[in-house]
Structure 1
Amino acid sequence: MTQPRTRLDRGRNALGPALELVHTGRAPTRAVLTSELGVTRATAGAVATELESLGLITVDSRPGASAGSQGRPSHRLAVAEDGPVTLATQVHADGYRAALVGLGGRLVATTPACMTVGADPAQVLGEVVAAGAGLLRESGRRCVGAGLAVPSAVAEPEGTALNPLHLDWPVGAPVRDIFRRCLAESGIDVPGFCGNDVNLAALAEHRHGAGRGAAHLLCVATGHRGVGGALVLDGRLHTGSAGLALEVGHVTVDPQGRPCHCGGRGCLDVETDPLALLEAAGRVPGPEPSLLDQAKELVRTACAGPPGEGDAAAREAVGTVIDRLGLGLAGLVNILNPDRIILGGLHGTLLAADPRRLRAVVEERSLWGRSGNIPVLACTLRHNSLVGAAELAWQPVLDDPLAALAP
């Protein structure tokens, strides 16, 4: 006969869900936590106290009520600013960076960006992990996990980078195994996780940024090279059967366009990334700053001054790339029917440059003309792929805080 669960058992089972509610800002008070968990006030109080004892959250000692509110004042909850951290790392075509990230998606510390990425993934990952180890030594904080974001589809369960197209890395590089080995060699004894950079950016935005509250969130982004996409369904990344879903960069938007690495022509990947914008404006990219920064500066040039003045070639290039992006988004809307679209990197800058034009193209080219009702927003988090890499590392703690933080 199954024994009934005690209040203590229920409280332990609620620790993870409670921590996630505070982590994502959805439970700012103990009263909200009680309601969201569907437990008694006593159980919610015990859960909050346990999470506080683990050093994960803070509970104010003097509950207060906002002006004009009714009912019993409630204790306010917040993530512990001096609590444990995760080590987040990112590698992209123009460099790499490491950061320490606390609960709530807070960037505690970051290293300066390195602008050179070699052809040996072991060397690059060794360098970025060593930089992260330096941050940990300086901070003195407890590290509970580590995450890595890479500009490639990452096959599961192997953890291999199948298409690091804009890096000189071998296809199928075992990046997760290399990352874990580098962590061990640096004396960082924590679990290591790896994922695609846009997938992780979407996860971070869903929990802490422009995607918060969306049930079917589509993210499309271009950073330094190429275009990626991600879908978050009911709070979880949709990665497909082997981690390879949402390769949106290979949606065709111009059948007569540039040759793509995938063997096709005119894909989003080569028609709407920073290099495509610079080439459309007749610009020859320089070695510095990054391609992304050069493309963003071109957009600022195109938008400077009153209509009819300024750089005509830049304005035309911006309009062309916006139209291509809108066409690609319309096709994705037809397939995925999201309730929100967020755009990252250069795509967010293009949206800000001419939001009416982009939204009009999406609406006109999608079935039923209903996509005009779908919000199209820019990503809001700084270093969202790094924050997303941290989310991978935080997930075991969110799932079971007691087990993850056991000595």
Structure 2
Amino acid sequence: MSGDANPRPAGEGTTSRARLDRGRGALGPALELVHTGRAPTRSVLTAELGVTRATAGAVAAELEALGLIRVDARPGAAAGSQGRPSHRLELAEEGPVALAAQVHADGFRAALVGLGGRIVATTPSCEAVDADPAKVLGAAMDAGADLLRRTGRRCVGAGLAVPSAVTEPEGLALNPLHLAWPVGAPVREVFAERVRAAGISGPAFVGNDVNLAALAEHRHGAGRGARDLLCVATGHRGVGGALVLDGRLHTGSSGLALEVGHLTVNPEGGPCHCGGRGCLDVEADPLALLTTAGREPGPEGSLLHQANELIREEYGDPVVRTAAEALIDRLGLGLAGLVNILNPDRIILGGLHRTLLDADPDRLRAVVADRSLWGRSGGVPILACTLDHNSLVGAAELAWQPVLDDPLGALSAA
């Protein structure tokens, strides 16, 4: 007779181990579903993962044990609903964070970003950018480390957004035109060194600011649900673009795809840094609006802030309106060309372009429809970006990705 008072049926141990293995393999996909808001309940998680309720329950419990989500086992039923309500899945409010930093022509900022793209804390924007990348990134990481100390949060890694094409896999900033950084600055290497020097654990990642804005908006903002998403945005200077194809950020063979700022939209326009003339980069950015409106850039506030405020506060001025319409027409021409080439199912606009869309959405959509091959057969939805600090959120997404890929392994190694 066995010494076990409650012997297991034959094969039960093997079945339990198999369920556990399946559950652990589903941890990453499950976390991503909750992270992006696509699995608000355990029943939805079960359906999305294609597993049994028992496996989904085990997965949710494991993610909760890791401090990543919270399972509400007693949710209130909606009025008029029938049946037992499913367990709600929420992101843990006091869970780990990623440290994100963004550098632009008018300053830099650091932030702590939790799962779900939620900004937990930010530093004030610094308005000085040194010509030495190491000094800027060192200051940003010191500020971020201070945020971590003050909040007591666990950090999974760090991400950086820069206004430059970033080569893959080397991590070189090829065109940091408005930062006075050297061409080809090894920003990934420098950033990783500054992260370690600040005492921050976890891996370090670097990406182009508009690419990261698109990534954030696709997961948490105006791009959610789009399969092929085109994002075009002004930074504090210049114009950038990004593309999400079939749900994944498209950066090309070496990280340099979608340099949309160098599309010619005004052949008689001003010279561009690339050697051409009339590119979007110099015809549809904040400085272009101020110049076209006959306004001298002021000493206070960023060019982006000044341009946005000009439209919001003085759009009734005929000179300002005419300048804004000129930029809308140039932007629309560029977007139409991109629609013809890429055939996206949605376009989102950020920075000054979002403000231009808000000021005269019908004009912009009409220009795109008139100049694109497919515009007359329904058109492509053009929406404003919705996330505040979306490049910061996107930088954090880079740092969160290893956790989304393998929650148990990434958090065990951190």
Which residue is equivalent to 1:289? 301
Which residue is equivalent to 1:127? 139
Larger radius of gyration: 2
The 5 Å alignment of 1:144-223 reads 144-223=156-235
Cα separation, 1, equivalents of 2:177 and 2:22: 48
Q: Is the 8 A contact 1:359 1:372 kept in 2?
A: no
Tell which deviates more after alignment, 271-280 or 70-79: 70-79
Instruction: Report the residue type matching 1:273 in the other structure.
Output: D
Cα separation, 2, equivalents of 1:38 and 1:72: 21
SS in 1 for 2:350: strand
Q: 2:359 aligns with which of 341, 353, 356?
A: 353
- 1:196-216 superposed Cα distances (whole Å, 9 cap, x missing partner): 000000000000000000000
Q: Is the 8 A contact 1:362 1:372 kept in 2?
A: no
Say if 1:161 and 1:138 are closer, same or farther in 2 by CA, change over 3 A.
Answer: same
Which residue is equivalent to 1:301? 313
Post-superposition shift, 1:302?
3.7
Unaligned runs of 5+ in 2: 1-13
Q: 1:237 aligns with which of 239, 245, 249?
A: 249
Q: Is the 8 A contact 2:30 2:49 kept in 1?
A: yes
Post-superposition shift, 1:18?
0.3
Post-superposition shift, 1:281?
0.4
Which residue is equivalent to 2:27? 15
Instruction: Report the residue type matching 2:98 in the other structure.
Output: T
The answer to whether structure 1 residue 317 and structure 2 residue 329 are counterparts is no
Which residue is equivalent to 2:10? none
SS in 1 for 2:264: coil
SS in 2 for 1:232: strand
The answer to whether structure 1 residue 274 and structure 2 residue 280 are counterparts is no
Which residue is equivalent to 1:110? 122
The answer to whether structure 1 residue 34 and structure 2 residue 46 are counterparts is yes
TM-score, scaled to structure 1: 0.96
Post-superposition shift, 1:372?
4.6
SS in 2 for 1:388: helix
The answer to whether structure 1 residue 226 and structure 2 residue 232 are counterparts is no
Instruction: Report the residue type matching 1:135 in the other structure.
Output: L
Which residue is equivalent to 1:329? 335
Which residue is equivalent to 2:386? 380
Which residue is equivalent to 1:251? 263
Instruction: Report the residue type matching 2:277 in the other structure.
Output: R
Instruction: Report the residue type matching 2:184 in the other structure.
Output: G
Q: 1:51 aligns with which of 63, 79, 83?
A: 63
Cα separation, 1, equivalents of 2:392 and 2:97: 13
Which residue is equivalent to 2:375? 369
Q: Is the 8 A contact 1:360 1:372 kept in 2?
A: no
Say if 1:249 and 1:371 are closer, same or farther in 2 by CA, change over 3 A.
Answer: farther
Cα separation, 1, equivalents of 2:329 and 2:401: 38
Cα-Cα RMSD: 1.3
Instruction: Report the residue type matching 2:285 in the other structure.
Output: D
Instruction: Report the residue type matching 1:57 in the other structure.
Output: I
Say if 1:348 and 1:372 are closer, same or farther in 2 by CA, change over 3 A.
Answer: farther
Cα separation, 2, equivalents of 1:347 and 1:262: 21
Tell which deviates more after alignment, 281-290 or 64-73: 64-73
Unaligned runs of 5+ in 1: 304-309
Post-superposition shift, 1:371?
6.9
Which residue is equivalent to 1:306? none
Say if 1:162 and 1:371 are closer, same or farther in 2 by CA, change over 3 A.
Answer: farther
Q: Is the 8 A contact 1:301 1:311 kept in 2?
A: no
Which residue is equivalent to 1:307? none
Cα separation, 1, equivalents of 2:366 and 2:34: 38
Which residue is equivalent to 1:399? 405
- Aligned residue pairs total 399
Post-superposition shift, 1:289?
1.2
Instruction: Report the residue type matching 2:58 in the other structure.
Output: A
Instruction: Report the residue type matching 2:327 in the other structure.
Output: V
TM-score, scaled to structure 2: 0.95
Say if 1:371 and 1:302 are closer, same or farther in 2 by CA, change over 3 A.
Answer: farther
Tell which deviates more after alignment, 22-31 or 371-380: 371-380
Q: Is the 8 A contact 2:340 2:374 kept in 1?
A: no
SS in 1 for 2:159: strand
The alignment-based identity, stated in percent, is 79
- 1:341-379 superposed Cα distances (whole Å, 9 cap, x missing partner): 000000000000000000000000011434752110000
SS in 1 for 2:176: coil
SS in 2 for 1:326: helix
Cα separation, 1, equivalents of 2:377 and 2:349: 15
Say if 1:337 and 1:370 are closer, same or farther in 2 by CA, change over 3 A.
Answer: farther
SS in 2 for 1:155: coil
Cα separation, 1, equivalents of 2:225 and 2:194: 36
Instruction: Report the residue type matching 1:65 in the other structure.
Output: A
- 1:44-86 superposed Cα distances (whole Å, 9 cap, x missing partner): 0000000000000000131443222233320000110000000
- 1:115-173 superposed Cα distances (whole Å, 9 cap, x missing partner): 01010001110000110010000011100010000000000000010100111000000
